[in-house]
Amino acid sequence: MTEQQQRDLRHDEVEAGTQSVLATPRVDVTDARQNSLWSDAWDSLKRNPLFWIGSFLGVFFVLMAIVPQLFSGGADPRDCDLSNSKQAPSGSHWFGFDQQGCDYLANVAYGARNSLMIGLLAVIGVLVIGVIVGAIAGYYGGIADSLLARLTDIFFALPLILGALILLRVGPSTGLPIISDRGAGAVAIALAAFGWMTAMRLVRSQVIAVKSSDYVAAARAMGASNLRILTRHILPNAVAPVLVFSTITVGVLIAAEATLTYLGVGLQRPAISWGLQISTGQSLLRTAPHLVLFPSIILSLTVMAFIMLGDALRDALDPRQRS
Amino acid sequence: MSTSSGSISSSPAPVTYDPASGPVLEVDDLHVEFRVRSGVVHAVNGISYTVDQGETLAILGESGSGKSVSAQAIMGILDSPPAVITGGGIRFQGRDILKLNAEDQRQIRGPGISMIFQDALSALNPVYSVGFQIGEMFRAHRGTSRKEAKQHAVELMDRVRIPAAARRVNDFPHQFSGGMRQRVMIAMALALDPRILIADEPTTALDVTVQAQVMDLLKDLQRDTGMGLILITHDLGVVNEVADRVAVMYAGKIVETGTVDDVFTRPGHPYTLGLMNSIPLVEAKGGRLNPIVGQPPNLSRIPSGCSFHPRCPRARTGAAAAPGRDCVGDVPPLRLVVPGREAACHYSEEVLGV
Amino acid sequence: MGRFVVRRLLLTIPVLLGASFLIFAMVYALPGDPVRALAGDRPLAPAVVAQLREDFNLNDPLIVQYAKYLGGLAHFDLGVDFSNRPVLDTISQRLPVTIKLTVVAVLFETIIGLAAGVLAGIRRNSFFDNLVLVSTTLIISIPILVLGFVSQYVFGLKFGWFPIAGINDGWYSYLLPGLVLASSSLAYVARLTRTSIAENMRADYVRTARAKGLPNRTVILRHTLRNSLIPVVTFIGADVGALLGGAIVTEAVFNIPGIGRAVFEAVGQQEGAVVVGIVTLMVFFFIFFNLIVDVLYAVLDPRIRYD
């Protein structure tokens, strides 16, 4: 229906105190608004197949990361026998064996922990940097905003993989803690250091939008402190978009971790990681394609789980997109 | 019959209609629903009216009374889904538009029936010049060349009294003031000399002084061209000034119709009476206003019987009501109550005091 | 307009400098030793090490090193690598390869992404629309690394339609890597177009266009598509800049000797001058195409004027 029709119907419904999908009330009483936002969102999520597929895959891979034994078919990923080298998948060993003759299903299952842990840690890092820098820039404005915005532009101009690649490559010779040990922590820090800019812009724009709203002006008029306004009124409103962003970003960062590991600067042997498995399998693509195939599929499904969940959340939390 | 080829027709829509045979536009028992996820919104529930050449019919009602939706149904620009025309007919120059194929319907829009909208800023495409958008009418319906179309656009802009038309023809909508933008809309709507012009709240978005200028312009143009004008508004003052007849809508139905003078001086429906009483009068300065109590009905759950009964001070039900005239149980038909006047109220005579 | 462009150009200078300094600092300032890294397992005579350190200004404070670097940059002197080869030579040899790859990718992105998005947006909720939604979710979810291997295996090895790696078959060898490089942008263009069209179809001016009795084709092409494509065109414009700097993985998987692969190799060998030179170039592309997009916006949407 046209904008005019929508306006008319919305007008009716507000006047009549009723509500259908046509009208979205814009009442800025923070608690009431948040409550209705989340309960509406849940109604919408329940009907979205993307949400259920994403949730199922997400829970599945989180379980795999916590208790890989359940998924490994009873095999130990380090219990290898060279006589099984590169054997194709079979009824008893679904994913076959790798070059060293290790059970590949067990190896792939045990790879989930590193991927999810790095994805989660990196996203926490992204949020910490993004929320702090974004909130400061948006709330204080002026010179602080200009400087922080330029800083964000600088990082934004550098591709994520490239920045992380360089940092991880020079990392071991720096002698800095975590960064120099080539472990999961180093990868997570590198990803966060070059991946926080979108979170910053998101938080900044939300803060600016809410800051100029009437109810924040009212809170200020009643003498609320800066910190209280920021934490009680402004940040809760930024939760929805940041949640959508974070969910999708977990997926993106898991893919980035695999890429960095594949490029040789991420996790190192003897760590078990999908990126390493793909990297090793690359040279055997002709003779044992399953060595690239299985970790690739599992990696893609994991990324997909988070991207689907994030898409579903966005559809549910952004009323503008509902039709 | 007209050519219904897909290509742009260079001949105007054929006129096989004799003005003596009846009104230019007849709307007959029109029903429109919106079918949305949460249910069915009954936007228009059986309205009928006619418009003659040179006549101005005002359709008066609150927002959501169905007045705009009925106009969009006539124009054939409802979005379906969710909108569905579930019944009735719309006869333009004797032909039922709803029975025509899409191409014949399209050829009526512009040369036959034309429409101007409330908010000219959003109704004009921001990325094309006003001259281009006015000229499109000639290009689409008459196959005029781009250059000639622009000349026509300048003439039309002159005609709607836009100063320095030749210079402003290449300007974009956002470069005009609100009143000038509405004039551009009017120029565009009048380009092909339509027989019916529907003006959907043409002045609501404008300043009061500009409102009067635009209404005067519309009135002058109507006198020059002899077109029928359907004026959709909730502004009683505008109706009083320019309309010949008025149809009052409530909850998707016409509840009263007659000449403007009659209806305004002696309303025959409690809703119309309520509207009249709610006007602030200079003489009554300092006194209290008399608004209509209650809220407009929810169009997905329209009250039974007379849809106005929950707000009506005269509503009668049960033992108090006359047989067959229970305001809660019996739907009042739109009926002739005094000569030249129809009202949909069981107790219209009481309201009129006859 | 001219003044806007100049002002925007001036604003990009601090970003360009900041980004190149950031890379410079990471490569040179962190307490690693590129000379030792270059030497690898071979022990170098201390005199040789000292000479190399002197040649590459490694004994100066960081900021002095960077100032000397900028001084060279002003004369298009990007320095030399450890084997004394000018960085500019490396770039001019590798850049055309990446440009070809980007051209192919942008063509795929525009043609396939636009067509899918337009059809899906016009026929909202149709089978095709749902197909586009599902397939774009899939494409966005599959890491470019995996997409590279899968297409290499399926189209290169199994079917033998395309060369598996390298650029020995002219433009033809760019097709598969170009498609892989374009994949996620392509999916994004399709989605953006679809949303934009669906939103514009509800706009008041589209209703006006129908009320004017314009033929359906005109309503859609002139009054819906023209307006809907503004955000899409600008996205593609900015994406050119991103693709020029984002081909590291694709070039690694398909063994394509462009600047992405060059920078990857240089990082591995701690060739600081090469890394800084190429990354600065990538950042320049990114900023340059974003500037073009801003100008493009003003051309496409008359409401935007930068005076």
Indicate which CATH number applies to the domain containing A221: 1.10.3720.10
Domain residues for the domain of A202 are: 33-65+116-321
Q: Say yes or no to pLDDT of A18 above 80.
A: no
Question: How far from the centroid of its chain's Cα atoms is residue B204's Cα?
Answer: 13
Domain count, chain A: 1
Classify residue A73 by burial, with Cβ atoms within 10 Å: 0-12, 13-18, 19+: middle
- Touching C: A residues 64-103, CB under 8 Å: none
User: How far is the C-alpha of A207 from the C-alpha of A230, rounded, in Å?
Assistant: 8
pLDDT of residue C117: 92
Of B76, B193, B74, B183, which is closest to residue B133 (Cα–Cα)?
A: B183
User: How far is the C-alpha of C145 from the C-alpha of A257, rounded, in Å?
Assistant: 11
Please indicate whether residue C306 or residue B106 has the higher confidence score (pLDDT).
B106
- Touching C: A residues 11-30, CB under 8 Å: none
For residue C91, tell me if it sits in a domain: yes
ipTM of the complex: 0.83
> Is residue B127 within a helix (H) or strand (E), and if so which, with residue range?
none
How many residue pairs from chains A and B have C-beta atoms closer than 8 A? 54
Highest mean pLDDT among A87-91, B19-23, C170-174: C170-174
The answer to whether the CB atoms of A150 and C14 lie below 8 A apart is yes
For residue C18, tell me if it sits in a domain: no
Bridge partner list, A195: none
The answer to whether the CB atoms of B109 and C202 lie below 8 A apart is no
Q: Is B127 touching C (CB cutoff 8 A)? A: yes
Q: Say yes or no to pLDDT of A204 above 60.
A: yes
Q: Which of A169, A285, A293 comes nearest C157 by C-beta?
A: A285
The answer to whether the CB atoms of A262 and C145 lie below 8 A apart is yes
Q: Is B172 touching C (CB cutoff 8 A)? A: yes
Parallel/antiparallel/unpaired status of strands B245-250 and B95-96:
unpaired
> Is residue C119 within a helix (H) or strand (E), and if so which, with residue range?
helix C87-122
Two tokens, residue B313: 């001070």
User: How far is the C-alpha of C270 from the C-alpha of A65, rounded, in Å?
Assistant: 35
Q: For chain B, which residues make up each domain, given as ranges?
A: 19-250, 267-352
Mean of all residue pLDDT scores within chain A:
79
Q: Which of B63, B119, B122 comes nearest A12 by C-beta?
A: B63
Q: Is C307 touching B (CB cutoff 8 A)? A: no
Q: Say yes or no to pLDDT of A118 above 50.
A: yes
Of A30, A20, A19, which is closest to residue A216 (Cα–Cα)?
A: A30
The Cα of C207 is separated from the nearest Cα of chain B by a number of Å equal to 7
Q: Which residue's structure tokens are 């719309």?
A: B90
pLDDT of residue B354: 67
pLDDT, tens digit, 9 for 90 and up, residues B159-179: 888 888 889 999 999 999 888
Q: A261 near A273, Cβ under 8 Å?
A: yes
Phi and psi at residue B246, to the nearest 5°: -135, 140
Crossing angle for the helix pair A104-140 and A184-193, to the nearest 10 degrees: 40
Domain count, chain C: 1
Bridge partner list, A103: A97
CATH at C145: 1.10.3720.10
> Is residue C79 within a helix (H) or strand (E), and if so which, with residue range?
none
Please indicate whether residue B219 or residue A77 has the higher confidence score (pLDDT).
B219
Q: Is C212 touching B (CB cutoff 8 A)? A: yes
For residue A297, tell me if it sits in a domain: yes
Q: What is the DSSP letter of C153?
A: I
Q: A9 to chain B: which residues are within 8 Å by CB?
A: 34, 41, 64, 299
> Is residue B95 within a helix (H) or strand (E), and if so which, with residue range?
strand B95-96
Of C274, C270, C278, C277, which is closest to residue C32 (Cα–Cα)?
A: C270
The answer to whether the CB atoms of C26 and A174 lie below 8 A apart is no
What subunits make at least 3 CB pairs under 8 angstroms with B? Answer: A, C
C171-187 as b/e, with b when 16 or more CB fall inside 10 Å?
A: eebbbbbbbbbbbbbbb
Domain residues for the domain of C166 are: 87-269
Give the HSE-up count for residue C94: Cα atoms under 13 Å, Cβ half-sphere: 28
Pick the range with the lowest mean pLDDT from B322-326, C14-18, C129-133: B322-326
The Cα of B139 is separated from the nearest Cα of chain C by a number of Å equal to 9
For residue A149, tell me if it sits in a domain: yes
Q: Is A9 touching B (CB cutoff 8 A)? A: yes
Cβ atoms within 10 Å of B309's Cβ, excluding its own: 21
Residue from C123, C202, C210, C212 whose CB has the most chain B CBs within 10 Å, to mutate: C212
Q: Is B108 touching C (CB cutoff 8 A)? A: yes
Residues 6+ apart with CB under 8 A from C139: C147, C183, C184, C186, C187
> Is residue B125 within a helix (H) or strand (E), and if so which, with residue range?
none
The answer to whether the CB atoms of B109 and C210 lie below 8 A apart is yes
Instruction: Compare all CA atoms of chain C with the CA of B192 and give the residue at the minimum distance.
Output: C212
- Touching A: C residues 136-165, CB under 8 Å: 137-138, 140-146, 149-150, 152-153, 157
Instruction: Compare all CA atoms of chain C with the CA of A293 and give the residue at the minimum distance.
Output: C150
pLDDT of residue B209: 82
For residue A192, tell me if it sits in a domain: yes
Q: A299 to chain C: which residues are within 8 Å by CB?
A: 143, 146
For residue C65, tell me if it sits in a domain: no
DSSP string, B199-234: EESTTTTS-HHHHHHHHHHHHHHHHHH--EEEEEES
Mean of all residue pLDDT scores within chain C:
84
Highest mean pLDDT among A16-25, A176-185, B157-166, C99-108: C99-108
Q: A100 near A80, Cβ under 8 Å?
A: yes
Q: Which of C213, C227, C303 comes nearest B174 by C-beta?
A: C303
Q: B129 near B66, Cβ under 8 Å?
A: no
The answer to whether the CB atoms of B140 and C300 lie below 8 A apart is no
The answer to whether the CB atoms of A15 and B296 lie below 8 A apart is yes
Describe the strand order of the beta sheet including B341-343 as a list of residue ranges. Answer: B113-116, B196-200, B228-233, B56-60, B245-250, B253-259, B341-343, B335-338
Angle at A285 between CA A284 and CA A288, to 5 degrees: 70
**Residue C44 banded pLDDT, cuts 50, 70, 90:** low
Helix (H), strand (E), coil (C) string for chain A:
CCHHHHHHHHHHHHHHCCCCCCCCCCCCCHHHHHHHHHHHHHHHHHCCHHHHHHHHHHHHHHHHHHCHHHHCCCCCCCCCCHHHCCCCCCCCCCCCECCCCCEHHHHHHHHHHHHHHHHHHHHHHHHHHHHHHHHHHHHHCHHHHHHHHHHHHHHHCCCHHHHHHHHHHHHHHCCCCCHHHCCHHHHHHHHHHCCCHHHHHHHHHHHHHHHCCHHHHHHHHCCCCHHHHHHHHHHHHHHHHHHHHHHHHHHHHHHHHHHHHHCCCCCCCCCCCHHHHHHHHHCCCCCCCHHHHHHHHHHHHHHHHHHHHHHHHHHHHCHHHCC
User: How far is the C-alpha of B127 from the C-alpha of B173, rounded, in Å?
Assistant: 8
For residue C31, tell me if it sits in a domain: no
For residue C120, tell me if it sits in a domain: yes
The Cα of B246 is separated from the nearest Cα of chain C by a number of Å equal to 24
Bridge partner list, B343: B256, B335
Q: Is A323 touching B (CB cutoff 8 A)? A: no
For residue A246, tell me if it sits in a domain: yes
pLDDT, tens digit, 9 for 90 and up, residues C46-105: 777 777 677 666 667 778 878 888 887 777 777 777 777 888 888 888 899 999 999 999
Q: Is C252 touching A (CB cutoff 8 A)? A: yes
pLDDT, tens digit, 9 for 90 and up, residues A276-310: 888 888 888 778 888 888 899 999 999 999 999 98
User: How far is the C-alpha of B222 from the C-alpha of B54, rounded, in Å?
Assistant: 7
For residue C4, tell me if it sits in a domain: no
Pick the range with the lowest mean pLDDT from A239-253, B326-340, C153-167, C287-301: C153-167
CATH number listed for the domain at residues B19-250: 3.40.50.300
Cβ atoms within 10 Å of B107's Cβ, excluding its own: 23
Q: Which residues of chain B have pLDDT under 70?
A: 1-21, 284, 354
Q: Say yes or no to pLDDT of C245 above 90.
A: no
Q: Which residue's structure tokens are 């002045």?
A: B203
Q: How far is CA C113 from CA A232, A283, B313, C183, C299, in A?
A: 43, 33, 62, 9, 23
For residue C11, tell me if it sits in a domain: no
Q: How far is CA A157 from CA A196, B116, C96, C191, C246, in A?
A: 12, 48, 21, 24, 11
Q: B307 to chain A: which residues are within 8 Å by CB?
A: none
For residue C145, tell me if it sits in a domain: yes
What subunits make at least 3 CB pairs under 8 angstroms with C? Answer: A, B
Q: What is the DSSP letter of B2?
A: -
